[in-house]
């Protein structure tokens, strides 16, 4: 067998040539994935991509992602019950050891930490919105003692649950994102119906976190961090959920983004404004609510695209309005069970 000399200085072009000559060698690619001493960073990144392009590896990855998704769904359905690794193993159809391993590798967190963070975040919302006893919340959240719950709450959020219940302040709540395998085909060819409704919003304030150059969600996450949504969920809102907005020019500060996220609050709001947030005042205004049909979570991109296409084609003059460029366009978080929603300002 011909020997192949590979060093840290081996170029990407040379690696590509070797791949074309010798095929996808499992040993060859494993060296790139697991040995930091053999290749430079660019070469490792290149070969890691080649590794995941191998059909057998790609199929196995998709199966593991689906297994993690099943574990997440099981946790969501049984959150306040005792959840064992054996139960997650049965759901994932992998061994307990391997179930824990793929869960942590794909989500970046162990199953036990995932469950604990989710229970604590749900309990924080209960303390914020309801008049309840700490002992009841502690036991309902799966803790065996009030002391254990208080220590866990303080470690997670930096405050005592009793103090938080008496005076809720912004918290970075844990918002789980579900594992999704890449689709092999586009299952959602078109949105059959888009529901359009005129609604009115009162004059209000909005607590917003500005980005830098973002004009859409993914760039915003890179600039601000995706965990900002957990903080927004912890803030009481007159709309009962956070909002994403494309701001008109008059609301954009120099050197900040058009796309922002925030919460709508009453005009007389005098609560705590989180560090790094701004507050803007919006007038009473009318909106056209565009709402698509419910969709499978993995089809969220197609659901958003369908609404954007509907907005482009729609003429508000048919209902006696025109587009209002002085008020922000609003996006709600895509939830499959209700369909994707955007609010377009009209006048």
Q: Which of 198, 158, 168 is nearest to 314 (CA)?
A: 198
Concatenated DSSP letters of 217-243? HHHHHHHH-TTHHHHHHTS--TTSS-E
CATH number for 286: 3.20.80.10
pLDDT digits (tens, 9 = 90+) for 44-73: 565 555 545 555 445 567 788 888 999 999
Would residue 188 count as lying in a domain? no
Whether residues 135 and 210 share a domain: the answer is no
3 state SS of 290: strand
pLDDT band of residue 126 (cuts 50, 70, 90) is very high
Domain extent, residue 266, equals 194-346
Q: For residue 59, what is the enclosing H or E element?
A: helix 55-77
pLDDT for 106 equals: 86
Residue 345 CB contacts under 8 Å (≥ 6 apart), including other chains: 285, 286, 287, 323, 324, 325, 326, 327, 328, 329
pLDDT band of residue 145 (cuts 50, 70, 90) is very high
With both helix axes pointing from N to C terminus, report the angle between 41-53 and 12-22 in degrees, rounded to the nearest 10: 30
Whether residues 271 and 136 share a domain: the answer is no
Whether residues 108 and 245 share a domain: the answer is no
Whether residues 30 and 162 share a domain: the answer is no
Mean pLDDT of the chain: 83
Would residue 126 count as lying in a domain? yes
Q: Which of 39, 46, 47 is nearest to 10 (CA)?
A: 39
Would residue 3 count as lying in a domain? no
pLDDT digits (tens, 9 = 90+) for 173-213: 998 887 776 555 545 455 468 899 999 999 999 999 999 99
∠ CA 313-322-215, nearest 5°, is 65
pLDDT band of residue 15 (cuts 50, 70, 90) is low
pLDDT digits (tens, 9 = 90+) for 294-325: 888 778 888 888 999 999 999 999 889 999 99
Instruction: Please count the structural domains in the chain.
Output: 3
pLDDT band of residue 278 (cuts 50, 70, 90) is very high
pTM recorded for the entire structure? 0.71
């Amino acid at each position: 067998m011909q020997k192949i000399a590979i060093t840290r200085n081996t170029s990407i072009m040379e690696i590509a040539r070797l791949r074309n000559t010798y095929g996808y060698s499992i040993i060859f690619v494993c060296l790139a994935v697991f040995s930091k001493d053999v290749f430079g960073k660019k070469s490792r990144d290149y070969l890691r991509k080649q590794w995941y392009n191998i059909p057998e590896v790609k199929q196995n990855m998709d199966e593991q992602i689906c297994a993690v998704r099943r574990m997440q769904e099981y946790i969501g359905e049984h959150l306040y019950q005792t959840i064992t690794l054996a139960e997650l193993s049965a759901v994932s159809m992998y061994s307990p050891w391997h179930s824990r391993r793929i869960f942590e590798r794909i989500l970046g967190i162990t199953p036990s930490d995932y469950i604990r963070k989710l229970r604590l975040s749900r309990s924080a919302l209960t303390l914020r919105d309801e008049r309840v006893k700490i002992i009841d919340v502690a036991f309902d959240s799966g803790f065996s003692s009030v002391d254990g719950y208080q220590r866990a709450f303080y470690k997670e959020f930096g405050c005592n649950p009793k103090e938080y219940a008496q005076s809720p302040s912004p918290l970075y709540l844990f918002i789980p994102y579900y594992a999704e395998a890449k689709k092999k085909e586009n299952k959602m060819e078109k949105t059959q119906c888009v529901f359009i409704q005129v609604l009115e919003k009162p004059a209000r304030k909005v607590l917003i976190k500005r980005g830098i150059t973002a004009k859409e969600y993914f760039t915003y996450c890179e600039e601000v961090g995706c965990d900002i949504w957990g903080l927004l969920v912890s803030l009481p809102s007159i709309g009962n959920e956070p909002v994403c907005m494309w701001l008109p020019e008059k609301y954009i500060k120099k050197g900040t983004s058009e796309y922002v996220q925030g919460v709508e609050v009453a005009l007389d709001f005098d609560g705590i404004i989180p560090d790094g947030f701004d507050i803007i005042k919006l007038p009473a205004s009318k909106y056209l609510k565009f709402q698509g049909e419910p969709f499978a979570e993995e089809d969220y991109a197609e659901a958003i695209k369908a609404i954007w296409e509907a907005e482009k084609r729609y003429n508000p003059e048919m209902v006696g309005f025109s587009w209002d460029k002085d008020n922000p366009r609003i996006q709600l978080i895509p939830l499959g069970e209700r369909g994707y929603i955007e609010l377009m300002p009209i006048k």
